[in-house]
Structure 1
Amino acid sequence: MTMCTRLSLALRFCAVGLVFGLAGCSSEPTGQAPDQLLAQVTESLFSSGNREASEVRDISELTRAAIADVTIPLILFELPDQGVATTLKVWYQDGAFIYWRSADGGSLILDDGVIFATRGIGWDLMAAETRQTAALVRQGRGAEYSRSYRHLDGLNQMIVRDMTCRFQRAGSETIVVLERRHAVTRFEESCQDGTLAFTNLYWAGSDGFLWKSRQWIGEKLGSATIQRLIR
């Protein structure tokens, strides 16, 4: 998939977001702070077969038993720098790109688990280059490459950061994702552009499936932690 196609995907996501009353295509706050938009964790468990959201009031009450009746793919999305978290369920899939949505309207696109874009959380990531990173996670090998991140400034002009990144294997681990243990390989992706530097972390199973990751979204929001609760 070319960058042109990926950008058209982001624009399509923006249009769909407007239809569903999301935050549209602005990277600025949308009238609510991120900690207001990313509300109570179980508000995302809103399909008819799921446990009622009122039964669990905050993230501390999220347990494996609390989602025992949930059969759809589910992730836990956290912004540690903001002190907030939410669950998101699959909304739409387009090949390797999966659109995830929370009950309060916050959304993101993952490309095989790698963050491509966010919407509705304020200071959104409009689009990121993901194909190289996603392929390296699946293949389990290291490489050096360039990666771009796109955000809007206060004048709705696109700001592009071209990062130089190094991807490498960091060893085998056992992690716990909501009371379940997974044998994984940890990968580190170190990126910088001269004035900015950050490190993304990926914990992948033997088949390349991402059970957990910590990925940079932008300077305002910092990095997000994503855990796959239900595959």
Structure 2
Amino acid sequence: MTGRRRAALAALVLAAGLGACGTDQTRLETGREATAELRNILRGMVQRGPKAAAPDPQVIAREALAANPGPLMLVSLETTKSTSVFALRGENGGMRTWLSPSGQGVITRGGVLAGTRGFGNDLMSSDVGALIGAVQGRRATQVKIELRYLDGLGKERPLPLECKTGTAAATGYDFAGMHFEGTPVAVHCEGYGFSFDNSYIVSGAGVVLASRQWIGPRLGYLTIQSLRN
């Protein structure tokens, strides 16, 4: 498979959220290992063979772009294999709130997932400032973050995590009639018996173009393809 073809498949995967594969969660020390981590995720998510009645994410994206002039992103939840366009509904202090037609919400900060609403078992709040800097700066480093979820009494409980980041060679891909170019950034986080691997494609200006990010232990991963910032 050529690099161009692989990049095109990566774009489709990130937008459609067609599935996930297992990854080696013990290796994220160098840019080369980060490259392997990201490509393994993408290859495992590529749809194999025809699927009946599966909506084409590129068609969904084009129709949304034609109908809505504002910022948009295509979001897929892997556990349900549901894909929807989310439109920007508010911005405050760098926090951007995106809503789907069904009323589900995704909150991002600098392209990094900061919270969700309406999915059930949501990520209620977070402290991901250090991770944002590493992702936008496309740096290999170590950072600490905190994710917060509701317990059985309705109180937010923190999940502190230590994360390692790594980068790979820049790549380009086409999606829904648009061309994207950026640097892959892979992130591995661990803490209190949990571990997960996020992946991002970040432009030279530090804009997250596409990503696969962990919401929590029950919701798993969502994938995001930016359509219009």
- Say whether the fold is shared (TM-score over 0.5): yes
Counterpart secondary structure, 2:122:
coil
Counterpart secondary structure, 1:75:
strand
Check conservation: 1:82, 1:221, Cα contact below 8 A: no
Q: Aligned letter for 1:188?
A: A
* Map of 1:175 onto structure 2: 173
Which consecutive residues of structure 1, in runs of 5 or more, have no partner in the other structure? Answer: 1-56
In structure 2, the CA distance between the partners of 1:129 and 1:177, relative to structure 1 (3 Å rule), is: farther
Q: Aligned letter for 1:117?
A: G
Say which of 176, 194, 197 aligns to 2:195.
197
Check conservation: 1:63, 1:179, Cα contact below 8 A: no
Whole-Å separation in 1 of the counterparts to 2:64 and 2:195: 38
In structure 2, the CA distance between the partners of 1:99 and 1:205, relative to structure 1 (3 Å rule), is: same
* Map of 1:10 onto structure 2: none
* Map of 1:148 onto structure 2: 146
In structure 2, the CA distance between the partners of 1:92 and 1:73, relative to structure 1 (3 Å rule), is: same
* Map of 1:127 onto structure 2: 125
Whole-Å separation in 1 of the counterparts to 2:194 and 2:122: 18
In structure 2, the CA distance between the partners of 1:109 and 1:179, relative to structure 1 (3 Å rule), is: same
Counterpart secondary structure, 2:79:
coil
* Map of 1:34 onto structure 2: none
Whether 1:164 and 2:166 are equivalent positions in the alignment is no
Identity of aligned residues (%): 27
* Map of 1:14 onto structure 2: none
* Map of 2:212 onto structure 1: 214
Q: CA deviation at 1:63?
A: 4.4
Whole-Å separation in 2 of the counterparts to 1:94 and 1:59: 33
Check conservation: 2:130, 2:144, Cα contact below 8 A: no
In structure 2, the CA distance between the partners of 1:177 and 1:143, relative to structure 1 (3 Å rule), is: same
* Map of 2:77 onto structure 1: 79
Two-structure CA RMSD over aligned residues (Å)? 1.9
Deviations 1:24-68 (A, max 9, x none): xxxxxxxxxxxxxxxxxxxxxxxxxxxxxxxxx984241425532
Q: Aligned letter for 2:148?
A: R
Whether 1:111 and 2:109 are equivalent positions in the alignment is yes
* Map of 2:223 onto structure 1: 225
Q: CA deviation at 1:142?
A: 1.9
Q: Aligned letter for 1:135?
A: G
Counterpart secondary structure, 2:136:
helix
Stretches of 4+ aligned residues off by more than 4 angstroms: none
Counterpart secondary structure, 2:135:
helix
Check conservation: 1:89, 1:100, Cα contact below 8 A: yes
Check conservation: 1:215, 1:223, Cα contact below 8 A: yes
Whole-Å separation in 2 of the counterparts to 1:221 and 1:176: 29
In structure 2, the CA distance between the partners of 1:122 and 1:194, relative to structure 1 (3 Å rule), is: closer
Whole-Å separation in 2 of the counterparts to 1:229 and 1:59: 17
Q: Aligned letter for 1:73?
A: P
Q: CA deviation at 1:158?
A: 2.4
User: Would you say how many aligned residue pairs link Structure 1 and Structure 2?
Assistant: 175
Check conservation: 2:131, 2:144, Cα contact below 8 A: no
1 or 2 for the larger relative contact order (CA 8 Å, sep ≥6)?
2
Q: CA deviation at 1:115?
A: 0.8
Check conservation: 1:177, 1:228, Cα contact below 8 A: no
Check conservation: 1:177, 1:227, Cα contact below 8 A: no
Counterpart secondary structure, 1:226:
strand
* Map of 2:14 onto structure 1: none
